[in-house]
Amino acid sequence: MNFHRIITSSLLAPCLVLFSLRAHAVPAEGHKIMISAPNHYAVEVGQRIAQQGGNVIDVAVAVGLSLAVTAPYYASLGGGGFALVKMNGPVEALDFREVAPRGANKEYFQNLPAGSSMNGAHAVAVPGFPAGLFELHQKYGKMKWELLFTDAVAMADKGFAVTGGWVNATENEKDRFDPAGLAAFFKKDAVSYKPGEVLKQPGLTKALMLLQRQKLKGFYQGEVAKDIVDSVAAGGSKITLEDFKAYKVRWLKPLTTEYEGHKIYLMPPPSSGGVVILSALNMLEKLDVKSKPLLGADEYHLIGEIEARAFRGRVLLGDPDFHKNPIQFLTSQDYLESMRKSVNLKKTVAVKAIAEDEIKESAETTHFSVMDTEGHAIALTVTLNGTYGSGVVSHKFGVALNNEMDDFTTKPGEPNMYRLTQGAGNMVEPGKRPLSSMSPTLVEKSGKVVMSLGAPGGPRIISGVLQVLYRTLARGMDVDSAVQAPRVHHQFSPNILFIDRQKFAPEVLTELRNRGHKIDEGWMGKVYAIRLRNDGVLEAAFDSRGEGGAGGI
């Protein structure tokens, strides 16, 4: 273990660990198993499970449960997500995305007030996170289910010291919370916590114990489900107990592509990330971007132009159970060659929005990775969509609830909270899963997984994962250097090159503007990654753009 990155407080109760972690110039290293996650609590919990003999999946489940306690603004039991998994067989994709209630339809948001898909009860979709963790454990877990809850229950019951990141995320959403949210995440009279103060969550403690003892029935068919249904019913939501009982995860076949001598496994729809990344990797390789000066204007110009073209077809994607996705067309050599030919090294060239008749084929989130030296790995991305999701918190158990309904095409032609304009294949329908940008990714070489990564950040997940893949596999960077390197993001619409705030040299920005780019400085997705080096050592990194932890045994 690299003690510059993570210190195990085995002598301290989980609720009393007060230190925070920041990124260093080198990756964390381990010889057996590694974890990269959004906070140090999650890493410590994962280390304890690994030391007790838990496998990659046991560690991932315990990490996920701990994040539901310590990071409810993006990893609540009221969310959902995707995972790519490699255990003893082929790489598999698990979809535990939230689903629209049976009472919803394509006109659901047409007559509701503006913002109803982002704030309040109508924004909530049926959660899938608990079902996803349970399914992973049922299929691949080694330790007893009940033992994986020990740390999460202790931190919820006895409390944990909130971090600066927790305080900022919670304080920024204060005006959106319903009374139950204010009671759960603020002190008396809605006074904010300060960094280092201890938060206890008695309601969430009970919810976790019901899930621990009664498994899925404890969440989807009992008191917790009733509490959530009752809590959103007051705001007009159509979610019912039958929606909870009907919820199912689904296993999907990953998308795959070859890049720089590696096989890349990507999440298929309803993630849009896999299709976009696959397309972009193809163009990166064919346009020989790695031959350009590292971190220079040529390199960033080409990355931005490639991202815009890769994002171009995103509007055509949707839930595969409801919509035929034109993946074969969007990833065909003919289509990608036409996109490559439209790239000009000297200036930015806008391409038109994709038209239906072009198709020649029938028609706030977080991430953590766990990996061992045997090549077993999981890349798991979980989300509430926005920070604290809908702002609704269940009254009895204190479960923060998602606002995933905003990931649907709620009003055709109008952008969502991430400024993405969605397509007809992503319209609201009963039991449907909204299109997502979550992009858990695994990388294989010579039949063995050598990298696990992913990110939060809406569509900037995709550009973050793409650029870390490019910088590690094509440019030879270690995983920490790749994660921390300045990034650009272009999502086709709006036609803007978004760049890392305060990370670019003035001369690079001047050159990008001279080539016609409209520049907008801002935030980027936070990537969490692990890589197995040729010498058998695991190296892991978390993104210094936010809090995080990396460590192992």
Residue with tokens 């995707």: 82
Residues 6+ apart with CB under 8 A from 351: 308, 309, 312, 339, 342, 492
| Bridge partner list, 382 | 81, 366
Distance separating alpha carbons of residues 264 and 499, to the nearest angstrom: 26
Count CB atoms within 10 A of the CB of residue 338.
13
365 part of the active site: yes
DSSP state letter for 78 = B
> Which one of 70, 163, 205, 365 is the catalytic residue?
365
Tokens of 319: 């839930």
Count CB atoms within 10 A of the CB of residue 501.
13
| Bridge partner list, 30 | 538
- Class of residue 366 by CB neighbours under 10 A (exposed 0-12, middle 13-18, buried 19+): buried
Q: How many helices (H) and strands (E) does the chain have?
A: 17, 19
**469 and 454 in contact (C-beta within 8 Å)?**
no
> What residue ranges in 180-297 does DSSP mark as E strands?
198-199, 250-252, 255-259, 262-266
Q: Which helix (H) or strand (E) holds 62?
A: helix 56-70
DSSP string, 147-173: GGGHHHHHHHHH-EEPPHHHHHHHHHT
Angle at 305 between CA 422 and CA 309, to 5 degrees: 40
Residues 6+ apart with CB under 8 A from 299: 289, 292, 293
CB half-sphere exposure, 235, CA atoms < 13 A: 25
Residue whose C-alpha is closest to residue 82's, from 323, 283, 270, 327: 270
Q: What share of the chain is helix, strand, coil (3-state, %, to 5)?
A: 35, 20, 45
Q: Please identify every residue annotated as catalytic.
A: 365
